[in-house]
A = this chain, B = another copy of it.
Amino acid sequence: MSEHVYNLLKKHHSVRSFKKEPISEEHIKQLVEAGQSASTSSYLQTYSIVGVQDPEIKEDLKEVSGQPYVVENGYLFVFVMDYYRHSIINEESKSNMETSFESAEGLLVGTIDATLVAQNIAATAEDMGYGIVYLGSLRNDIERVREVLNLPEHTFPLFGMALGVPEDDEDGSPKPRLPFEHVFHQDRYNTDKEQQREALKLYDQTVSEYYQARTNGERSETWSNQISNFMSSKQRLDMLEQLNKAGFIKK
C-alpha cells in the first residue's frame, strides 16, 4: 500500500520550458521499457516510438506544431499507431488481416495501445524528476510529420511528447479539473441536463478564479467559454482523410 504514485500524479502539470540538459540514453531506454510494460489489447502492441534528436527534424516538427519547446527540450518522443509489423506478418502468412487494421476497431485499439505506453512514460519521467508536455499539435500537419519521420503505410503519428529538466522559474500549479461528481457516475450515467448545467456553472466559477489569481485579473474566462471558443474553431478537419490515406478506418 503505497501512495507514492497518487501523490506524484496529483502534482502533474504540463511543463513547457526546459533546461538544455539532454536526457541520458539510459533514461530513454528505461522510459521506453516502462512504456512497453503497459497493458496491450490482445497482446497486439500496435505502436512505435520515434525518439527525435536530429536538430533538423526537430525544426521541421516545430514548424508543424508552432511550439518552441518542440526544439527546446531534453528529449522528444513521437508516438505512432503502428500496424506496419502486423502487415508484414500478414504478407508472410497470407491470412487476410487487412480488415482488422483498416476497421474502426483497429483505430481504437491502436490509439488506446499507444496512449497507454505514452502515459506510462509520462509518469515514469515525472518520477525521475523530468517535466513533460504532450504535443497534439503535431496533428496540425500529418502529411509533413509522416514525411519527416519516414512513416510507412499502416502507421499514424498520434501525438508527441517533449520532456526534460524543468526551468527553475517554471510555474507548477495543476489546472483545476472537472469536479469528481461531474465525471464520475455511479452505476449508470446521469444524463440530467439541469444538474450538468449547474455543475458546469460552479466549475466555470472555479476556472475563472484560477485564471484571475494567476494573471492578476487579466484573464478570467470560464471553462465553458474556452470550450465553446476552441470547439467552434473547427480544428484539423482533414483527420479522417489523413487516416484513410494511411490505411485506417476504411471499414
Interface residues of A (CB under 8 A from B): 1-6, 8-12, 14, 29-30, 32-34, 36-45, 47-54, 57, 80, 82, 84-86, 88-90, 92-93, 95-97, 99-101, 103-105, 107-109, 111-112, 115-116, 118-120, 122-124, 126-129, 132-134, 136, 139, 148-152, 155, 158-159, 174-175, 177-178, 180, 182-189, 191, 193, 196-197, 200, 223-224, 226-237, 239-240, 243, 249, 251
B6–A5 CB distance below 8 A:
no
B5–A8 CB distance below 8 A:
yes
Q: A111-B112, A124-B6 are in contact. Are A177 and B45 (CB under 8 A)?
A: yes
CB distance from A64 to the nearest CB of B (A): 15
Interface of A is mostly: helix
From the candidates B10, B43, B48, B95, name the one contacting A175 in the complex (CB within 8 A).
B43
Q: Which residues does chain B contribute within 8 Å of A36, judged by CB atoms? A: 177-178, 180, 183
Q: A232-B96, A232-B100 are in contact. Are A150 and B189 (CB under 8 A)?
A: yes
Q: Which residues does chain B contribute within 8 Å of A187, judged by CB atoms? A: 50-54, 57, 149
Q: Which residues does chain B contribute within 8 Å of A118, judged by CB atoms? A: 116
In the complex, what distance in Å separates the CA atom of A36 from the CA atom of B1? 21
In the complex, what distance in Å separates the CA atom of A14 from the CA atom of B37? 11
A109–B136 CB distance below 8 A:
yes
Instruction: Please name 14 pairs of A and B residues whose Cβ atoms are closer than 8 Å in the assembled complex, sorted by A.
Output: A3-B127, A32-B183, A33-B180, A39-B122, A41-B134, A47-B183, A52-B187, A84-B196, A103-B240, A111-B115, A115-B115, A150-B188, A152-B189, A155-B189
B139–A105 CB distance below 8 A:
yes
* CB nearest neighbor in B for A30: B6
CB distance from A37 to the nearest CB of B (A): 5
Q: Which residues does chain B contribute within 8 Å of A183, judged by CB atoms? A: 32, 36, 45, 47-49, 82
A152–B236 CB distance below 8 A:
no
Q: Which residues does chain B contribute within 8 Å of A182, judged by CB atoms? A: 85
* CB nearest neighbor in B for A161: B39
From the candidates B48, B99, B223, B240, name the one contacting A237 in the complex (CB within 8 A).
B99
